Structure 1
């Protein structure tokens, strides 16, 4: 009897071992197939992203004629230029301010849409996504007409109330405000749709429990909504920060960096130096300065997400 039980136990262990081995083999085979299916996309990304990045690093080490190696000479030259540090300041101010306002507007608009009955949400989502869906160059041209010094629709409206015309694109402070305004208008819907998806994943039981405890709207938002959405907020802000920092079309169409280079960002100033000025290595050096700044921001944000994931 004992031998029968022992053999049965041994057979069960062998069967379980074969099942685990078969499952492990199947998972490994599926991962291999998945990698092979994704390989064309990986190669495409490497060709379109990795190669240009490495080539930019190579260009940044050459002189203006691209015939002699100068090492860090282009970077040392930029460090001695006041315009470069002004562009660094303007790029950081533009990106941080725009992302903060996009995040705030997207958060409140997402709450507004989330509280609309289900039948009306589709219509509101479609209308609010229009600024993000329209090509930036096309929408920026419309804003350029609104800011036009002679035919500005904004100045015409202000004139009806007796207010004087505003030099939207002719004065440095107003030009910066105008560029940030257009970027916020175009980018806030992206935050809205991301936050709306996150809001729908928050369990209603948490809000019901908070309401039973006597929490008001602000307390429910602060202690329930924000903690549940924190990772989505961080990832969305990081992605938007990268895109905003490298923005080109809005500044190029509205101000072209003016007046007096007061609205230049890294991308537009690199274009001015490299393409319009004919110094491609120096333009490549300017564009490369975005990498360490964005890398530091990404490290802090992703580290916070990882820390919270480990705590959970």
Structure 2
């Protein structure tokens, strides 16, 4: 049978005229029936949904209203347009992301046979290596809203309030399908054995782990961490996959620069010198250096990016956050 949350979400989406959300909730109900062993009833629901979709024009995803009330301080929403082609990452990470997208697009087929698609991802690695952009790409590829959890609004000095706010967020995760980003999740999921740990902090972590485990929605949950060694080990077991984001190699740095400066002439660039200068920089730092070199070239009266401008900008990023004079 449908849960109370699903019935409420169904009524809300119908009242708001939100067909996309209405069908998403209905498909969640069908998947729940399939998991409960009611395969015939689940198939009837899916057939009704498919037949109804065929009669209703659906030009694209209906925007979800901005979070209101208490949720307004906890979540921000956007509708990313980024695609997988916007990511410059190593092949292992890209392969896993393609697998996640495939399983999400075929989730009804998987659930009809008792399997669940990957939908909880933990992304770890240094700052600026593409973790937040990955969440945007997942939302863009799946045509879902991206909800970013505002940790500054979530974590209060009253830990009981934090757990209650977490419940509000996971209630929405169940009701409104989307990609939910817990950026820098270390604040919620630090290791319980740390010396400054207190009982209330442990209870918040336990609540977070419990909500993750109990969630069976169609939403995708993405958590990121710059300090994976500080995360509680139990957190890893709650995620379907952990993706490691390393600093870019010379080849990846070249991809980042080419993608950002695609509108300019890069034929004269000495890529060996550029790769050497980019060593040790993150994706975002390489992007910032490429933009600086492009502006320098344009101000010098040419659309051909000069290698010396690019190398100088990269070297400055390695020294400090200040652009070259």
TM-score range, shorter chain: under 0.3
Structure that is richer in strand per residue: 2
The alignment's TM-score, normalised by the length of structure 2, stands at: 0.22
Between the two structures, name the one with larger relative contact order (CA 8 Å, sep ≥ 6): 1
The alignment's TM-score, normalised by the length of structure 1, stands at: 0.22
